[in-house]
A = this chain, B = another copy of it.
Amino acid sequence: MKMYINEIKENDHVNSLFLVKEKSSAVTKTGNTYLKLKLVDRSGEIEGRIWTSVENFAGSFEKDGFVHVIGKAVSFQEHLQLNIASIESVGEEEILFSDFFPMTEKDIDEMFLSLLEICRQIKNPHLVRLLQLFWEDESFVKRFKMAPASKWLHHNYLGGLLEHTLSLVQLVLEVANHYPGLNIDLLLTASIFHDLGKVDELSYHRSFDYSDEGRLLGHIILGIERVEDKIRQLPDFPEDLSTLLKHFLLSHHGQYIWGSPKKPMTPEAVMLHFLDDMDAKINGIQQFIKKEVPEGARWSAYHRMFEQYFYVPPFWEQTKPPDNIEKVSLEDE
């Protein structure tokens, strides 16, 4: 069973799986070579030291690889350190991703089924076929289900892209009939596709970071390319529908300064921009409040991207859905 780094205490015997984040060799004052490691899992990181059999172990595992470690936790200069007796490489198939990376709290397969279910409401035959091409692309689906939606700001965990996409699609469904004359098929399809490029923009198998093409082109262009790629397989896909669909992806950040080289030019594209932005912000804030509001405090830490503090009202948590709000007593009653 996984022993999490943040649970390790001085003198614990440790026997568990970790990810090697840093690996280097050094020399003691007495001239012996040893290995310095940084081991991580979902819960934190810890220094590791290999003092013996260095030559044997040195070649048996790699930086950025998963390892099985046996050792003992000791205290050195006020920090815990793992003296490693044995270490060996393990394959990806032996580990649970969720032991090593933050992961959505929702069920990925369930979310994916919900998304497919919603797709059934789409009637436009071109869009139906286009979506089908994506769902039939197993390699894509695998990445789409696992990718985070961003490195920091919101849904920044495995499964986050799917969670955000599903959330947006549901929002669209909830409000789409609110305005007369909107093209709901297009709205739903564009919502499903809007952040598609994030499966390529972010690499997330060892740590969350941008891929080369992610940094050089960004998820907007990468997403358009993926959509274009599938449309090419549909010879009678209408050209203006294709242009419009790509316009939705291109404009969904809303403004030049936020990375969209075009502003949304139809009511549907405007709606997509607002609901996407709202969903990202609310998720981001709720995540941030969870982590960055000290117990009992009313204010979060300063959020550097949003350049503000967030407030947790005293009577908030007790608040329930409408049907039983009546019983809520506010603090100063």
- What is the interface of chain A, defined by CB distance below 8 A to chain B? 121-126, 167, 170-171, 174-175, 177-179, 181-185, 212-213, 215-218, 220-221, 224-225, 228, 236, 238-241, 243-244, 246-247, 250, 256-263, 265-267, 270-271, 274-275, 277-278, 281-282, 285-286, 289, 298-299, 306, 308-317, 319, 321-326, 328, 330-333
CB of B257 within 8 A of CB of A260, answer no
Given known pairs A181-B319, A243-B216, A322-B185, the reply for A311 and B224 (CB within 8 Å) is: no
CB of B181 within 8 A of CB of A170, answer no
CB of A319 within 8 A of CB of B178, answer no
Given known pairs A174-B174, A175-B175, the reply for A330 and B122 (CB within 8 Å) is: no
User: Distance in Å from the Cβ of A315 to the closest Cβ of chain B?
Assistant: 7
**What residues of chain B lie closer than 8 Å to A238, measured between beta carbons?**
315, 330-333
Given known pairs A181-B316, A224-B221, the reply for A330 and B241 (CB within 8 Å) is: yes
Instruction: Say what secondary structure dominates the interface of chain A.
Output: helix
**What residues of chain B lie closer than 8 Å to A324, measured between beta carbons?**
123
CB of A278 within 8 A of CB of B275, answer yes
CB of A316 within 8 A of CB of B183, answer yes
CB of A240 within 8 A of CB of B314, answer yes
CB of B243 within 8 A of CB of A213, answer yes
CB of A221 within 8 A of CB of B244, answer no
**What residues of chain B lie closer than 8 Å to A266, measured between beta carbons?**
310-313, 316
CB of B216 within 8 A of CB of A184, answer no
Residue of A256, A270, A311 contacting most chain B CB atoms (<10 Å):
A311
CB of B247 within 8 A of CB of A270, answer no
CB of A178 within 8 A of CB of B183, answer no
Which residue of the partner chain B has the closest CB to A179? B282
